[in-house]
Structures are given as C-alpha cells and as structure tokens.
Structure 1
Amino acid sequence: MENQPEIVMQMLDYWNQGLAIAKSWALSPAAWSQFGLLVCAFLIALWLSKRLRPLLTKWLTPDAESQSILAKARRFVLQFVPLLLPLLAFALTGLGENITRSLFGSGAVIAFGKRVFLFLAVRILVKEVVKDGFMQLLGRYLLIPLAAIYALGLLGPVMVKLDETIIPLGNLSFSLLFLVRFVVVGGVIFWLGRWSNTQSTTFIKNQSEMRPAMRELALKASEIAIFGVAFLLLMNIMGISLTSLAVLGGAIGVGLGFGLQKIASNFISGVILLLEGQATVGDYVELDGGEAGTIVKMTARAAILETFDGRWIVVPNEDFITTRVVNYSDSGSANRYEAPFSVSYDTDINQVPEIIENAVSKLDFVLDDPDGPDCELRGFGDSGIDFAVEFWVNGIDDGKNKFTPKVLFAVWNALKENGIEIPYPHRVVEFKGQVPRLEE
C-alpha cells in the first residue's frame, strides 16, 4: 500500500478512523444512550409536526383574493412548513446533546444525528421549498454537498483544503473557499434582490394615480437601486475593496466607448423617454420607417410594439429620439380619420356633402368636438368624382379596421337612399376604320 497515491492513502486513513469510531460507539453504553435519545427526539419531533403542521397551514393560508402585505408575508412563511419535522428534530437533538455531554462528557453519536437532521432540512429546502431555478441549481450542486460533508464531520478538513488551494489570476489570487463563499453569499443576496424587485414592481404598478411614464421610470430606478445595493453589500461582506475594481471600471468604460456605445445610447434614450413621457406603454405610435403598433413594454434597451395583427416589433429606444415618431395616443387626445369614396358624374355634387355629413354624424363614436364630420371634394377621377369624409373619434383606428368600415357602410347606405350611384371603372374602345362584324 506504500506505493498508492496520496489521495488513496488519505481515503484509507478516513476509512480506518470511521471504523474505529463505529467500534467505539457500538461498545460504549454512552453511545447507546445517545442513540436512544436520538430516536426519542425524532419520535417526539414526528408527533409534534403531525399536530402542528395542520394548525400552521391553516393559520398561514390567507384568502385567495387577499393581496395585502400581511397576506404575502403569510404565503412566504407558508412555503417553509415542510421544514418543520427536520428542524424540530434538530432542536430536540441539540437539547439531548447538551444532556448527554453533561452526564457522560461526550455526545458524538447524538451530534452526528443532529447534523443528519440538518442535512435533511437542507435537502427538503432545495427540493420542495425553493422554486427559483438559479437557487435550485445552487442548492443542488453546492449547498446539499456541503451539508452532506458537514453531516459526515468532514467540513473542517475540507474547508482547510479549500482555503489552501489558491487560484492565481494575473496579479490577483483567491482560494477555492473564497470562491465557494462568494457564490453562496452572492446567490442568496441577488435572490433576495430579485424578490424585493418583484414586490416593488407589483406595488408601483398598482399606483394608478401615477402617469404611465412615471411608473416605468420608478420601476427602472427601483430596479437599479435594489441591485446596486445588493452588489455593494456583496462586496462589503466578502471584504472586496471597491478601489480594486478600478481596472474593471476602466475596461467597462473602454467597452462603452467602442463596442457598447449603442447599448449605452439606447439606455440613456430610454431614460429620456420615461422622463419626458413622449411615448409610454399603451400609446399607439407610427415610426418613420412605417412600423406602427401599441407599445406593450419598455425595457432598458428597446420598446416592444404590438401591431394590430398580433406581431411584436422590437424598436431600439434610440429610434424614438433620433427619428420622427407619430404618437396617436399622446395625452388621450381625439384622432381624425377620413373615408374616401366616389360618385357618378351624373350626380348633383352640391347635395353630396350635406347627405354624407348627416349620415356620419349619427354614428355614436363620431365626435362633434373638436369638429364634426366634414365631407370634401377631392378631385375628378377617371370613373367618378372623388370625395372624402373626415371624422373625429376617441381611440385608435388600428389598421384602418375599427372605425373606417362603419363610416363607409353609413356612406353606402346614405348614397343608396338618395339614389346616388357609386361608379365603377368604364373603358371606351374606339375602332379606326370599318367596325369588324361577327360572323353568324
């Protein structure tokens, strides 16, 4: 065995130590008493959990419709109820450990059982309680293995080994233990930050008295503030001086100056849009390139337009600042549209405006303020005389399919009732010379 690798020799040494501990436990009356206390603690915890869990579940379950702060807090605590059994067993085992150490001067067996109960609590936490995907991944591959190592009593040697393993990174270097702590603490802090951001987002969106643009600006500001505080808190907990990030800040500045200038421009443009309120969620806009739709979401980089046929168009925020944008919904103002039509050349066109204006004014969605329907002569076409009726409505005629068809129906019916013909294209064919005859 002398020629075996060092890691194999260490594993054999741990194995021999474990066998020695197992033999001492099996032959020791103190160990058997500790094992008996361990079983009793588990049975008592099982009995208590069966009695307490229904009561806690009933008390912590709020009404389904309630969205108050207290109801949300109760729902948050309710998801930790599955931890009741292992935590009760852990607490009772800790009490039993104090008793055995005071009576026998040792408590290795019951201490091992206490660590096992803590491992079970961590496993239930990751498997049943945590719903966030990142936190589940962190728990499955980091927290559960650490809890298992702790249950086996090997956490101290493993921590020492991780602390001695140094990873060089240029002028910087850090240990594996620092990396593990950074991942765990950072994951927890940013999970709490994301939870806080979700709660603040819900609260701000419910403030109906705020203008939509101000709500969006408040959402972005709270998100930046929450994650900024989380970052500073993480740096402080891990003992990282912010001055050491000067090189990283300089690299980010160079990146913004070259490859990330568009991203920075879109971010600043988004802040300007939110401050000025020229375009916000719910507005129907038409861009200089012809794209038109309702703004359904504004992000730090772009705005998302939903067209009348359900398509989504991602428009960079910079386009709203540097190009011409038509906002049909700004401040909830009325909008004017027109419906073109033609009449025959045999028509007395002096009667047409009054007939059409009276018919369109009877439609319930057509406004009299700022102006009523206005029928105008537009020109003399190839097949008929061209008119158009202008009308004002509240809302957006998205895709010309909401108000204009109803107006055209009213125009058609009014013309038919007054005997006015709507022309269709005519073509006159002239023959030079003798007209050809058809053979019978």
Structure 2
Amino acid sequence: MNWLDQDWLQTQPPIVQQTVGYAQQGLELARDWLVSPAAWSQFALIVLAWLAAAFLTRRLRPAIARLLTPAPGQNTALARARRMILTVLPLLLPLLAYVIAAVGEGVITSVFGSGAVIAFGKRVFLFLAIRAFARDVLTDPMLRLLGKFVLIPVGAIYALGLLDEVTAWLRGTVVPLGDLSFDLLWLIQFVVAGGVIFWLGRWSNDQTGEFIKKQQEMRPATRQLAEKAAEIAIFGAAFLILMNIMGVSLTSLAVLGGAIGVGLGFGLQKIASNFISGVILLLEGQATVGDYVELDGGEAGTIVRMTARAAILETFDGRWIVVPNEDFIVTRVVNYSDAGSANRYEAPFSVSYDTDINTVPGIIEQAVSALPFVLQDPEGPDCELRGFGDSGVDFCCEFWVNGIDDGRNKYTSQVLFAIWNALRDNGIEIPYPHRVVEIRGAAPTGTA
C-alpha cells in the first residue's frame, strides 16, 4: 500500500518517516486480518475468552473474598497476608482471560498454522491487567505515580508489539552531560529501579521502626539511636544496591565524595555539627523524648521529638520550639527529667506580726499534705520561716510532686489556695503593706 506521496515523505524528518512506515504496516496487517478466516476465528476466540473470564470472575470473586477475608480485629501475619491477596482481586478478570486465550492459542495454531491475532489479544489482556494493577492495587503515592507514567505506557507499547523498536530508539538516544553521557533507556531504568528500591527501603525502615518502638525494655534514647542507625543502614544499603544494579562503579563517586567533604567543611559544618551532637545526645541519654528541659537561652518545654538536626520542645501553651542539637552540647541545660519523676517546688507567703508563728508550720503542712498530688516521699511538705519582712513574717512551703509545674499542672497555684484557706480558717491574717506618714511641725491652718 502506498497512499502517500513518496517524494513528500522523503523530505520529512526520520521520525515522521518511521511513524508513517509503522502506520502503513498496521493498515496492511489490519487488511489482511479482515479478509482472513483464521483471523476471524481468533477474534471470536478472544471475545469468547473475555466472556468466559467475566462469567468465572462473577462466580469466583465473591467466594474468594469470603474465603480470604479475616475476622474483624485480626492482625496476625496470616491475616495481613490474606488482606494483601484480596487487594489483587481486580486482576482476576484480565488474567483469567489471558489464561483462557493462551489455552485456545494452541488449538488455533494447530488448525490454521497462525496465531498472530490471538497473540495480540493476549497482549491486550496483559495490558488490562497492568492497568488494573496500577490503578486499583497500588496505593502508595510514589508507586501509583510510577505505575501511571511508566508501567501503563510500557504495557501499552508492549500490547502494540512495538516494545523492541521503542527500546532500541531509547537506547540509541544519548544524553550528554559534561564528561558523562547516558541513554534514555538507562535513565528510565534508573528512575524505576531507584523508586522501587527506595520505596522498599522506606517500607523496611517503617517496619523496623515499629519493631524497635515496641521494645519497652530499651531506654528511649537507645530506641531512638537504634531507629536512626537502622534508617542509615537501610538507605545506605538501598543506595549501594541501586548503584550495583545500574552498573555505576563506586570508585567513580570518589570525586563527588570529595566535593561533599569540602561542602561539609565550609557551608555544611553547622549541619554536620548538629548531626554529630544528636548522635552524642542519643548515646549519652542526657536528654531524650519526654524530658522537660530549660536552656540558657530561655527555651523551656517537653522534648516531643528528636531528629538528626534538632530537638523539638513543646511548651505548656502548645507551641513547638526547634532547638539545634548543638545547643544541648555547648550550653548549660537544666533537665527536670521525665514526666514521671519527682520535683520540688516552693510556695511563699507571709503572715501578720500579730500571729503566733510557732503554730503556722503545723497548720500549713497539714493543709498541703491533704492535696492528692503532693508526695510524702522523698519528703513531705515542709513549711520554713524565711525572714521578717517590712509588712509581715515571711514563710515558704516546700513540696514534692510527680511531674512539672509547667502551666498544664497548676501545682503551685493549688498549694497557695490551700494555704490561703488554712490561714483564713485559723484566723491568721495575711498582711498587706502599711505606710506610716509622720508630719513634723504644726499642722497648716486654713485662712478665710
């Protein structure tokens, strides 16, 4: 068939000429199939294979779902495996059609000596399975992206029988990059292999992290250090595996490693310092998640998260403060320990000079001891005389509690309320400032 002006075609770019050639071959193939009894028989077999697969899927899918669906609340390894198998049920219809068509292909080939049409149908069924896999089975955003833009196009090219031609064209298209060069096929393989390997690395890291967090016998700092070490090991191994698969020699990365070293020495020295400080903190355990700390700069709060670069403090009013790990090493840090430790606080007050101060300690200690959050161990409430002020006698009640008086827990405020009520119930006056004004000389008299 020659339905284009050959002179015009010779003036077009090679890609246009190649596309027109493929189109001509496709039209000739379609014409041959339309007038061939063998082709019509194979078309009929493809339709029958799809109808039979649809009938079997309608019968088998509910039964398989009932058989594999675990009981509600089960989270064993077997239950998770059964749920994973249920996610691939959308592939049942195209795969059954593919199998039935493959069985019929042998019969058709033995009768007519050709099975080109049914082979095309099998590739179409496989493409439908690939599309269902990318659309209905993959749930991770990155894998769905690879499925949409890589897996489905490759399946479509394979279904059309052009995979070898497209592969050869990609391999022949070289992209120069300075002293380096690579072909488009290598780039696509690198993106796909890298995406899959690092997705597996992230999944492995999540599973490892969950396992480590369940080891309650380990100290929190040790668990965090183990999580960071596992993360570095997993992604380091993923990087080495990717380089090995893609045939990249690790010795060729020496120049890149040297450049990174120079960058760490200059622009990235703070990042490197914070990273090393974070490792030291995790090893020594001087500050870990759950500790209430106060830094020299005034930052105070509970450590809710420790990253490779910084620690995140949560203040009593819900704000998060990001503190570089280096600050925990080079500055003074007050650590009030974890939320379950005992801490001592003071509640100052004053009484009038008319009070019998010998009775005050017993009254106050008894009132404060009655509060449910006040501890008797390591020491019960202790009311001490602190001095003689301008307006009254100064006392202070020391008490121990579990946790931090950080704004959420109004320990000191409740103790002061108890002191006020105890003094009022015992008729003890809390003084307020008095000033005596002395006027020397005769008082001035008014004139009419």
Separation of aligned partners in 2, 1:288 and 1:406:
29
The Cα shift of 1:18 comes to 0.8
* Alpha-carbon spacing, 1:427–1:157, altered in 2? closer, same or farther (3 Å): farther
* Counterpart for residue 208 of structure 1: 216
* Counterpart for residue 167 of structure 1: 175
Separation of aligned partners in 1, 2:38 and 2:208:
55
* Counterpart for residue 350 of structure 1: 358
The Cα shift of 1:178 comes to 0.2
Separation of aligned partners in 1, 2:397 and 2:82:
60
1:288 to 279, 293, 296: 296
1:41 is aligned with what amino acid?
Answer: A
Separation of aligned partners in 2, 1:45 and 1:434:
120
Q: Secondary structure at the match of 1:153?
A: coil
Question: What is the 5 A alignment of 1:226-237?
Answer: 226-237=234-245
1:278 to 279, 282, 286: 286
The Cα shift of 1:350 comes to 2.6
The Cα shift of 1:354 comes to 2.0
1:303 to 297, 311, 316: 311
2:227 is aligned with what amino acid?
Answer: L
* Alpha-carbon spacing, 1:108–1:136, altered in 2? closer, same or farther (3 Å): same
Do structure 1's residue 315 and structure 2's residue 337 form an aligned pair? no
Separation of aligned partners in 2, 1:436 and 1:44:
121
The answer to which of 283-292 and 19-28 deviates more is 283-292
The Cα shift of 1:284 comes to 1.7
1:404 to 406, 412, 417: 412
**Residues 278, 330 of structure 1: 8 Å contact kept:** no
Question: How many correspondences in the alignment?
Answer: 439
* Alpha-carbon spacing, 1:248–1:223, altered in 2? closer, same or farther (3 Å): same
* Counterpart for residue 340 of structure 1: 348
The answer to which of 197-206 and 423-432 deviates more is 423-432
1:369 is aligned with what amino acid?
Answer: D
2:116 is aligned with what amino acid?
Answer: A
* CA offset digits 1:268-313 (Å, max 9, x no partner): 2222222222222222222222222122112111111111111111
The answer to which of 186-195 and 340-349 deviates more is 340-349
Do structure 1's residue 197 and structure 2's residue 205 form an aligned pair? yes
* Counterpart for residue 8 of structure 1: 16
Q: Secondary structure at the match of 1:393?
A: strand
* Counterpart for residue 244 of structure 1: 252
1:183 is aligned with what amino acid?
Answer: V
Do structure 1's residue 388 and structure 2's residue 366 form an aligned pair? no
The answer to which of 256-265 and 158-167 deviates more is 256-265
* Alpha-carbon spacing, 1:416–1:51, altered in 2? closer, same or farther (3 Å): same
Do structure 1's residue 184 and structure 2's residue 195 form an aligned pair? no
2:73 is aligned with what amino acid?
Answer: E
2:217 is aligned with what amino acid?
Answer: E
Separation of aligned partners in 1, 2:440 and 2:78:
94
Do structure 1's residue 53 and structure 2's residue 61 form an aligned pair? yes
Separation of aligned partners in 2, 1:425 and 1:65:
67
Do structure 1's residue 268 and structure 2's residue 283 form an aligned pair? no
The answer to which of 303-312 and 100-109 deviates more is 100-109
1:32 to 34, 40, 43: 40
The Cα shift of 1:107 comes to 1.9
Separation of aligned partners in 2, 1:437 and 1:94:
126
* CA offset digits 1:240-291 (Å, max 9, x no partner): 2211211111111111111112222222222222222222222222222222
Separation of aligned partners in 1, 2:269 and 2:116:
62
1:383 is aligned with what amino acid?
Answer: S
Separation of aligned partners in 2, 1:24 and 1:386:
110
* Counterpart for residue 17 of structure 1: 25
The answer to which of 262-271 and 341-350 deviates more is 341-350
2:126 to 118, 132, 135: 118
* Alpha-carbon spacing, 1:359–1:29, altered in 2? closer, same or farther (3 Å): same
* Alpha-carbon spacing, 1:105–1:385, altered in 2? closer, same or farther (3 Å): farther
The Cα shift of 1:49 comes to 1.9
Separation of aligned partners in 2, 1:299 and 1:146:
40
Do structure 1's residue 131 and structure 2's residue 133 form an aligned pair? no
* Alpha-carbon spacing, 1:420–1:291, altered in 2? closer, same or farther (3 Å): same
* Alpha-carbon spacing, 1:98–1:430, altered in 2? closer, same or farther (3 Å): farther
* Alpha-carbon spacing, 1:153–1:278, altered in 2? closer, same or farther (3 Å): same
**Residues 350, 431 of structure 2: 8 Å contact kept:** yes
The Cα shift of 1:78 comes to 2.5
2:275 is aligned with what amino acid?
Answer: F
**Residues 390, 433 of structure 2: 8 Å contact kept:** yes
Separation of aligned partners in 2, 1:431 and 1:71:
93
The list of structure 1 runs, each at least 4 consecutive aligned residues, that deviate by more than 4 angstroms after superposition, is: 427-439
Q: Secondary structure at the match of 1:82?
A: helix
1:413 is aligned with what amino acid?
Answer: N
* Alpha-carbon spacing, 1:61–1:202, altered in 2? closer, same or farther (3 Å): farther
* CA offset digits 1:90-130 (Å, max 9, x no partner): 23333333443344332221122222222222222222222
Identical aligned residues as a percent: 71
* Counterpart for residue 103 of structure 2: 95
Separation of aligned partners in 2, 1:122 and 1:428:
95
Q: Secondary structure at the match of 1:375?
A: strand
The Cα shift of 1:351 comes to 2.1
What 5-or-longer segments of structure 2 have no aligned partner? 1-7
Q: Secondary structure at the match of 1:228?
A: helix
2:319 is aligned with what amino acid?
Answer: R
**Residues 105, 115 of structure 2: 8 Å contact kept:** yes
What 5-or-longer segments of structure 1 have no aligned partner? none
Separation of aligned partners in 2, 1:98 and 1:228:
49
- TM-score for the superposition, normalised by structure 2: 0.91
Do structure 1's residue 373 and structure 2's residue 403 form an aligned pair? no
The Cα shift of 1:37 comes to 1.6
1:154 is aligned with what amino acid?
Answer: L
2:148 to 133, 137, 140: 140
The Cα shift of 1:141 comes to 1.9
The Cα shift of 1:22 comes to 0.6
Separation of aligned partners in 2, 1:62 and 1:432:
98
